[in-house]
Amino acid sequence: MQAGKLRHRIRIQQKITVQDPQTGEQLTNQWVDFAKVWASIEDLSARDFIAAQAGQSEAKSRVVVRYRAGITSDMRIVLPTGAVCKILGPPLADPNSGKEYLTMVVSTGVSDG
């Protein structure tokens, strides 16, 4: 992956549970930034939809970022436009070293990630 293709600044977010400091009661789930990274964002072709084993109404884009440990399918991505994307399945490491970049198939229009 050439660095010039990573031209979109995205936020990867994770959900945390906020607790009341006095009672310890779980109050709400909140999305917080896990990382802000540069990414390549590409719409998927019909062939890619089939390869991703997802219906066209679900999978919309492929997001590629430099390798970063800890990214899971429980997280979500916020695009530069503000659109929220759900990560579909585990991120895929590059086939050579496994530590150069990650590829994620995402769907947009997710209300809660």
As a whole number of Å, the end-to-end CA separation of the chain is 27
Where does the pLDDT of residue 56 fall: very low under 50, low under 70, confident under 90, or very high at 90 and above? Answer: very low
68 within 8 A of 35, measured Cβ to Cβ? yes
The per-residue pLDDT for range 23-55, each reduced to its tens digit, is 777 777 889 999 999 999 998 765 555 666 554
pLDDT tier at 81, thresholds 50, 70, 90: confident
Q: What is the per-residue pLDDT across 2-30, written as a single tens digit (0 to 9) for each?
A: 557 888 999 999 999 887 778 777 777 88
CA atoms within 13 A of residue 34's CA, in its CB half-sphere: 18
Strand partners, 45: none
**What are the structural domains, with CATH classification, of the chain?**
3-108 (2.40.10.270)
Please give the structure tokens belonging to residue 35.
């990382």
- Calpha distance 36→26 (Å, rounded): 27
Q: How many CB atoms are closer than 10 A to CB 90?
A: 11
Task: Give helix then strand counts, H and E, for the chain.
Answer: 1, 6
Q: What is the mean pLDDT of residues 83-112?
A: 85
